[in-house]
Amino acid sequence: MASDFEILFDAGSASIQAGDFAEAKAYFEEAAAIDPAHAPTKALLEKLEQLVPSSDPIDDDDDDILGADGPLFSLDGATATQPAAAKAATARPVAAETERVKEDMLWSDLPKNAPSSSLAPGATVAVVGGDTPIGRKMLSALAAGTSSTPLVGVPLGPSYTAEAAKVFASAEAIVLVSASAGGKGGVEPPAMKALLDAVATSLNGGGLKRMVLLSSVGVDRTDKLPFNMANVFGQLDKVRAMEQEVLLRATGMAASFSIVRVGKLNDDANVPCQLASGDAFQGETGAVAVSSLLVQSLSRPEVVNKTFSAGGPPKASDAFAGWDDEFTKLVGPEVFRQAFRSTISQESALGWLRQWTRGLLAPGSGLTTPIEVVDVPDGVLLRFLKKDGSGYADFDKPETTDDKWAQAKGQSESPPTGDGGLLLLAEAQAGKAESARVRVRRAEMGDGAVSKPMSEAAVLEKLGRDLGLLDKARGR
């Protein structure tokens, strides 16, 4: 079981990756109180002091639960008994939601005020660790023009040199290959600070737009096998500290960052890879696919200010359909996808999905979290609600006479507001006109929104189960 210090350090790391530096500082201050001598914690607090003058209180209102008495929705219309105190929001007409639903549902979750990911044609890309096998493959891919924009790759060694400083002064993008991911010739943790100091000094307010770090999977799973064995001497802790250093420096230089985590690289040129947000996968990954991924990451808006993993080979049930399809997993991010085995059109799947989601509003659904449901193009938005901006209402509190009078008059103390949600999409599968899939990603996760892991897990478990039942029934 993880110690209190590890829990606080991991929470601080997650807050940094989410861009919430005030929350991160609060976590690391608590961790430092437990272990004042921990060097990575002290170093991170020094960086955060420059970005956050004072700590803000941490507010975690994810206390919502799903009733344990049955499915959210069933194909035969049967529902379990809902707790007597539970309530559900009613769906609003689609027209009334036009202004509230984000117009561009595809890229609506890009960080606010994020730097542009676009590089100019002919821009210089400094590849630090360019003599590693993966660095050479990436440079070859850049030279072959596999990027959507012609770019010039410049190989650099893994430590600071005067030559590197000159290249940094004109580079629009920097790719850092860590030794943990790229092997000999990659950047070691002790060298990272001097390299990034050189970047900051060389720029002088220059044109750096992108910073990409090739890192290792497992840095967020050091309490689990096999990564706890790989972290006996703190190797993965040092890699995680490198990631956080890159993130903080990129933010300070007004550049966007991408942290790409991979496992051991192999030379199988025919193995594609999957993508997933955060720290996922284990085992080997194809180096050719990763080199292509790094080139793609220089210009893809989906990876702006994101930490994600690459692994493979893909599952047979979710075959590689190209980079466009893989990068969609990082928007939100994606938390569920399931393809129909039976023949079903996208239109039919969409109708079923909208009906299923509205089943969560019915009494007896078992969902105690207040929600509202809004139709959007190709799907439906399930929006979690909070009241008075302070979290969920207490549904077990007895209603007073004033409460009942306000409800009878159609009044409330304050209208419920959104607190993040899930975007459920019905999509046609590539190359399969009569075969659809359902995909779910987080949505409306703006400032102040808190992810709801318990509610999400319960909804997605039921969705997967009911989709399976529907698929089975249609395949008879």
Q: How far apart are CA 244 and CA 239, in angstroms?
A: 9
Query: What is the rounded average pLDDT of the residues 59-79?
Result: 37
Peptide bond into 313 cis (omega under 30): yes
Q: How far apart are CA 192 and CA 194, in angstroms?
A: 6
Tens digit of pLDDT for each residue in 208-254? 999 999 999 999 999 988 999 888 889 999 999 999 999 999 988 88
Tens digit of pLDDT for each residue in 261-293? 999 998 876 777 899 999 999 888 899 999 999
Report which of 325, 367, 286, 380 is spatially closest to residue 81, judged by C-alpha positions.
367
Res 411 pLDDT > 50: no
Q: What phi and psi, each to the nearest 5 degrees, are found at residue 218?
A: 100, -10
Enumerate domains of the chain plus CATH numbers: 4-51 (no CATH), 95-109+336-474 (3.30.310), 123-330 (3.40.50.720)
Sorting pLDDT into bands at 50, 70 and 90, what band is 138? Answer: very high
Tokens 């960052």 map to which residue? 257
Q: How far apart are CA 169 and CA 210, in angstroms?
A: 13
Query: What is the model's pLDDT at position 139?
Result: 95
| Least confident span in 15-29, 135-149, 381-395 | 381-395
Res 175 pLDDT > 90: yes
Q: Residues of the chain with pLDDT > 90: what percent? A: 38
Query: What is the rounded average pLDDT of the residues 369-397?
Result: 72
List beta partners, residue 376. Answer: 379
Establish how many alpha carbons lie within 13 A of residue 79's alpha carbon, considering only the half-sphere containing its beta carbon: 17
Report which of 380, 444, 394, 389 is spatially closest to residue 415, judged by C-alpha positions.
389
Q: % helix / strand / coil in the chain, to the nearest 5?
A: 35, 20, 45
Query: What is the model's pLDDT at position 432?
Result: 64
Peptide bond into 398 cis (omega under 30): no
Give pairs for 236-243: CB < 8 Å, separation 24+: 236/180, 237/40, 238/40, 238/189, 239/178, 239/180, 239/189, 239/215, 240/13, 240/40, 241/40, 241/43, 241/44, 241/189, 242/178, 242/187, 242/189, 242/192, 242/213, 242/215, 243/213, 243/215, 243/219, 243/307
Q: Is the dihedral of CA 36, 38, 39, 42 positive or negative?
A: negative
Query: What is the model's pLDDT at position 315?
Result: 62
Report which of 366, 379, 388 is spatially closest to residue 421, judged by C-alpha positions.
379
Query: What is the model's pLDDT at position 78?
Result: 30
Query: What is the model's pLDDT at position 28?
Result: 86
Report which of 254, 253, 252, 305 is spatially closest to residue 49, judged by C-alpha positions.
252
Q: How far apart are CA 56 and CA 23, in angstroms?
A: 6
Tokens 């992810």 map to which residue? 451
* 380 sits in which H/E element: strand 379-386
| Bigger pLDDT: 74 vs 330 | 330
Query: What is the model's pLDDT at position 366?
Result: 67
Query: What is the rounded average pLDDT of the residues 92-97?
Result: 41
